[in-house]
Amino acid sequence: MVTITGIVALILVGVALATSAIISQVLQFNLDARLSQTAQYTGRTLLQLQFAGAGEVTAYDVLSTGRQPAGVLLVTQSSTGTRSGAVVASNGAVEALTPSQVREVIGAVQPTGSASVDVDGLGQYRVVSYAAQNYAAVIGLPLSEVQSTIAQMITTVLLVTSGGLLLLGAAIALVIRAGLRPLRAVADTATRVAALPMAEGAVSIDERVPGEEADDRTEIGRVGHALNTLLDHIDASLDARQRNEERMRRFVADASHELRTPLASIRGYSELSLRALRQASDASSPARGPEHTTEQSLERIQAQSLRMTKLVEDLLLLARLDEGQELVYGTVDLTRLAVEAVGDARPAGPDHEWLLDVGEAPVLLAGDATRLHQVAANLLANARTHTPAGSTVTVAVALEGRDAVLRVHDDGPGIDPAVADELFERFSRADRSRARQTGGTGLGLSIVRAIVDAHGGTITVDSAPGDTTFEVRLPARPADPAAS
């Protein structure tokens, strides 16, 4: 605002100075024209007085003859060297000039043209000289009228300019405040968001820049729109963080339970085996079959160790897949892989009906056979675990365009909508209980997605009661005829 007001003030001052200079020149030109007319009139009067034989003619005689406007000054000098001067006062009376005033006027006369002189006691005058037969005369008009006009104009310009600048400043302030209102809304929103505690716990950012202040068609509106977009992303990130924390807590509880059970079993059976060995070494104790007890204990210890090993291996696999490791590429026949996976699933789920829907031609792709087999096995295990006895599970393999497609369909109860959105997230569990038969650790489907992503494929699920299908799409490659 100060910059704009200063620039406008400089422009107005420059215009005022230029206008004053031009008007001053015009007024001075008009004064010179009046001065020339007055000189002609006084010259004729001076000649008339000479022809009338009035003797020595003085300036007083000339100005007293006829009507001269107030302020007219006349100095005459005869051929004999006699000087006289007079001036018409403001009341119309003619007053004689002092010798010093006459000398000042004569001293300022230029050989040609008019000149300005400051006459003591009378002010500034514009004077010009002329000759009238036996006399040389100097006629003058006061500059006070021109000076007062210029002063009045400058005063008017200064007053109008000052008032205009005040109005301009007020208008600029109002315009700037109105223009920056959206920015103040952005700043207020950012300040309120900055005061929210977001270090821990469930955080929801409800603050947004009002819609009318976030119009992306204006520069400041784009800032508000960008802030709203940023707050949306932060809000979504905080929600995701909270969900991840909750899943991590559940996973820690699940993993602790999964590890505690086999560790307790290992400890119990090891103590039982140690007690049996001690009894066997004690000759006074009756024989209680320590060999049989020890063998059973070691079998249970081994089983529980395998459970812990499986959990740790799943976590290690996810970590390595995140780092881009753990894949050994080769040619994989997806059809054969599905057949083998179904063959392995039948003994594990004899109370389910297992169906295959595959073509005669192999569906080939480049990938890690072991990990892709794990994908199929996990999907089938998931279908077996979460469907009741008697359910039908169908595994289909097809080549669709450039994609090798594996589908696992079941007619079970479907997926709970509450967990559908986070089904492939790590530590996600459809069954919130920690039952080994149904709960699991929540890593199976997350491993499936990690392996599929590592192969450049996609996995989706479409579920409704009685109709659930997991679909895996992987980049295929044409079958090699020589291989058959």
Per-residue pLDDT reduced to its tens digit, 86-117: 898 888 888 888 888 888 888 888 777 788 88
In terms of C-beta density within 10 A (0-12 exposed, 13-18 middle, 19 or more buried), how is residue 136 classed?
middle
380, burial (CB in 10 Å: exposed 0-12, middle 13-18, buried 19+): buried
CATH number listed for the domain at residues 2-152: 3.30.450.20
Which helix H or strand E contains 158, and what residues bound it? helix 144-194
Place of tokens 């590429």: 329
Determine the average pLDDT of the residues in 132-141: 85
Cα within 13 Å of Cα(363), Cβ side = 24
At 470, list the tokens. 């997991």
Cβ neighbours of residue 34 closer than 8 Å, sequence gap 6 or more: 141
pLDDT, greater one: 183 or 355: 355
CATH no. of 330-483:
3.30.565.10
**What type of residue sits at position 396?**
A
For residue range 18-40, list pLDDT tens digits in order.
Answer: 888 888 888 888 888 888 888 88
Note the pLDDT tens digit of each residue in 361-416: 899 999 999 889 999 999 999 899 889 999 999 999 999 988 999 999 999 998 88
pLDDT in the model for residue 436: 46
Question: d(Cα 6, Cα 10) in Å, to the nearest integer?
Answer: 6
Q: Which two tokens stand for residue 174?
A: 């109002």
Query: Residue 483's pLDDT is what?
Result: 41
CATH topology of domain 245-322: Helix Hairpins (1.10.287)
> Residue 190: which of 230, 238, 221 has the closest Cα?
230
Instruction: List the Cα angle 472/475/477 in 5-degree steps.
Output: 130
CA–CA separation, 363 and 450 (whole Å): 22
Which residues, 6 or more positions from 467, have their beta carbon under 8 angstroms from its beta carbon? 409, 411, 414
Q: If you average pLDDT over residues 439-467, what whole number do you get? A: 84
- For the chain, domain boundaries: 2-152, 245-322, 330-483
Is 370 within 8 Å of 409 (Cβ atoms)?
Answer: no
